[in-house]
Amino acid sequence: MLIETARQQMIEQQVRAWDVLDERILTTLRVVPRERFVPEGWRELAFADTEIPLPCAKRMLRPMLVGRILQALSVQPGEQVLEIGTGSGYVAACLAQLGGRVQSIELHEELVGLARANLRTATPALTVDVVKGDGMQLPEEALYDVIVLTGSLPIYQTRFERALRPGGRLFVVAGAYVPQQASLVRRLGPRDWSNEVLFETAIEALEHAPRPPQFGF
């Protein structure tokens, strides 16, 4: 009962309060057990408005940010979804709960194992393909309906928008300095994209993402 109360407070006081009003998203956050994706020593903070440490010096995204990401992408059943940066597997589970056919790429072997174990025990009815790899190295021929980057790009990379099918959506946080800019990119046609600025935020960069040169004196 305490867990369910804390979960509902997270949804009402953090997620809904940040303009996440889509009932599909709120239901997903109720159904996917966030606490089962949090390392055991941090589970008392599973529903707190904070980033939670993971192995390999990574962190889980805040609940309200996850809510905004899911609402912006509006994943529909059967859509092919690519996540770059699996972490604990929580965001991937939410994407799959919404009906996406999810492939998630994770750079670190330890996190691949952690996410697979979490998904297997916490959400056994959902299917997520977690693979080890470098998400910055997408095959040229790969196309997806939805792409979400859970780390930021210090320098925006067009390779991800080019991997969208027409009508596809990309959630990306870009910028080398704080605040960074979260955007929803849509592919409108073979050579046409739109970019909708959503909000300002700050998340760590994808490890192999290019950085701007460092200036010295």
pLDDT value of residue 142: 87
For residue 167, the surrounding DSSP H or E stretch is strand 164-174
Looking at every residue in the chain, the average pLDDT score rounds to 96
**pTM, rounded to two decimals:** 0.95
pLDDT at residue 216 is higher than 70: no
Residue 96 CB partners (closer than 8 Å, separation 6+): 81, 102, 123, 126, 127, 128
pLDDT in tens, 28-60: 999 999 999 999 999 999 999 999 999 999 999
The CB density around residue 80, as the number of other CB atoms within 10 Å, is: 16
- Segments in the chain forming alpha helices (H): 2-9, 23-31, 63-73, 90-97, 109-122, 159-162
pLDDT in tens, 150-202: 999 999 999 999 999 999 999 999 999 999 999 999 999 999 999 999 999 99
In the chain, where the domains are located: 2-201
- Which tokens sit at 114? 């952690």
Q: What is the CATH number of domain 2-201?
A: 3.40.50.150
Residue 216 CB partners (closer than 8 Å, separation 6+): none
